[in-house]
Amino acid sequence: MGFLAGALTGLLSLSPLVAGAIIPPDAIDSLHSSYDYVIVGGGISGLVLANRLTEQKCCRVLVLEAGGLDDGRWQVQAPGSIGLEDVSMYDWNWRTVPQTFLDNADRSFPLGKAVGGGSVVNGMVWTRASASDYDSWVDLGNDGWGWDDLLPYFKKSESFSPDVNDYGRDNLQIDPDSEIHGRNGPIQVGYPRHFYHPQTQNFLDGVEELGITIIGEPNEGNMTGASVVPSSLTHDTNARCSARDGYLTPIVDRLNLHVATGQRVTRVLFDNSNGDPKAVGVEFATDSGAAVRNITAKREVILSAGAVHTPTLLQISGVGPRRHLETLGVDVLVDLPGVGNNFQDHPMISPDTVPGLYTSRNLTGAEGAARLKEWQEEHTGPYTTPLIHAVAFPGFPSVAPDYANRLNAIRNGSIANSLPDSYDETLRAGYDAQLASIIGLLEKDDVSAYELMSNSFGGLTVSVMQPLSRGNVSATSKSIWDAPKIDPRYCSHAFDCDMVEIGLRFNDRLITTKSMAELQPVAQAGFGPDVTHEELQRSLRASLHSDYHPSCTASMLSRDLGGAVDTSLRVYGTRGLRVVDASIFPTIPGAHLQAAVYAVAEKVRPVTSEISYSRDRIC
């Protein structure tokens, strides 16, 4: 579609051009020497905080973002382009280390690198998980972080549209409940104007044949069942709605906000003269060869760089596991074993395809150009449909009839588990508490154990939503410019690969239902009903990869359970330093994560009412 690029760049640039608060690299000298809050990372949580903090006109905020502004290209804005078009210019393009519990190969590990972070490149899925996912956080010692506590902030972040076309309502049973959604929040959420037919309906009918209930509203607190899930897309144009679109663009002219792009924070600066180290600012630079600059934070430094870069920066700044910091040659300010550990992700696999149907893979050549024009001019057609929309989130009892025996085997310790060598007694105690909590969740009928997905490519996927394996993220040197070590350690608890196999066998039953058999799905090599246990384990270990939900690397747990932050998300052993991103999750929710990250950031806005007027303030 190269011939369209020039003509459509301006027309399809759906994120308005920004100015005012935006400080590009060539204007970096215009920054102030100090701000009340310095936010590291301009992704989802960073932009939520920037918006809410600067509602107080005398509160001056700086956001430092390593990426730039996306240019509004259709490859980002069109929901139907997800997974089809190259957006690597907005990606860190990291890879994991070889996965020793799988096939000893590394994995791609994409992370958003732009103003808006992952919301610029993610799958746009808007799911909250079940109430029990968050109530389990309270059971782990985090009072004030249950479902009822977070629900107002889920609502606050969203502007939900219940509009659904007749096909979606009548055939796909989409029946949203507006009462449990927000109506005036920054992020527009709703349903596309096109659904791939017949595969979407056949998928839902197929899982229903297996006893999985079709639910019209997946975000009311019990997500188990099958549904078409809402997405973060604009109501009028059916385009991507990112954190930049919702939280930054409307306030870009606020005089008390600066967002510096192309700036990587190299270290958090501390004052060690009085008690616990106090974060007083940061160092940053445009690249490894550029001059390093300093900025002072009068009140707080807030790390919102995500589950990989937040713990890496903490370690390089002297906050993290003592033994690892000493290996790097970093002066240890706070020995905090939880920083970089407890890493969790949803492992995913794609065992089947449905050939011969019209899918997003047909959006090429003249057909792709015509459908792209339809989306741009009429805001309809397949380009309104994200990669992920028809999904089943079954509980473990629905998938594994012998679930009780399997969970008892975990309790009895008869299934191999390998925690990282870096785990001290606090991390091990924390893991034991998490393990008991997750077993309890897997026993429930209202908590998702799996995500089974029919995607716009015509593929079927299986993901594990309550993983037991724990990985880690770590700095590899004293320099932030060296790539971090990302080790999810997939299937280091052997039950995770057992869970994947159970999910794949359930998927085998799905593709042989009357509804799905009509589509004549084809199993990938090494998968399918006739494959033996040994063959399937080899295949899944060669194919398992990330569902792109990294989290939990600076967890909100007590310090004696390996936690890194308290329930106000303040970093233990420091002052003036907070973490607000998916790093703080104690356990990963059984859903896609963006809605939870928005809610967490909305909930934790630091108090700014005490900031008083002074002559150098812009009020």
Which tens digits make up the pLDDT trace of 122-147?
999 999 999 999 999 999 999 999 99
The answer to whether the annotation marks 265 as part of a ligand binding site is yes
Q: Is residue 253 predicted with pLDDT exceeding 80?
A: yes
pLDDT tens per residue across span 344-365: 999 999 999 988 899 999 999 9
Roughly how many angstroms between the first and final C-alpha of the chain, as a whole number?
49
Are 340 and 472 a contacting pair, CB within 8 Å? yes
Report the chain's mean pLDDT, rounded to a whole number. Answer: 94
d(CA 341, CA 474): 8
Give the residue ranges of DSSP H helices in 412-560: 425-442, 494-511, 514-517, 533-543
The answer to whether the annotation marks 222 as part of a ligand binding site is no
Q: Is residue 14 predicted with pLDDT exceeding 90?
A: no
d(CA 24, CA 20): 11
pLDDT the model gives residue 414: 80
Q: Is residue 250 predicted with pLDDT exceeding 70?
A: yes
Hey, what amino acid is at 561?
L
The answer to whether the annotation marks 122 as part of a ligand binding site is yes
| Cis ω for the linkage preceding 198 (within 30 of 0) | yes
Are 548 and 593 a contacting pair, CB within 8 Å? no
Confidence of residue 158 (pLDDT cuts 50, 70, 90): very high
The answer to whether the annotation marks 256 as part of a ligand binding site is no
d(CA 73, CA 213): 39
The answer to whether the annotation marks 142 as part of a ligand binding site is no
pLDDT tens per residue across span 598-618: 999 999 977 665 665 454 554
Q: Are strands 450-455 and 459-464 parallel, antiparallel or unpaired?
A: antiparallel
pTM: 0.95
At a CB cut-off of 8 Å and minimum separation 6, what does 205 contact? 513, 515
d(CA 606, CA 49): 8
d(CA 205, CA 354): 16
Q: Is residue 88 predicted with pLDDT exceeding 80?
A: yes
Strand partners, 320: 335
Q: Kindly state the percentage of the chain with pLDDT values over 90.
A: 91
Residues with a known catalytic role: 549, 592
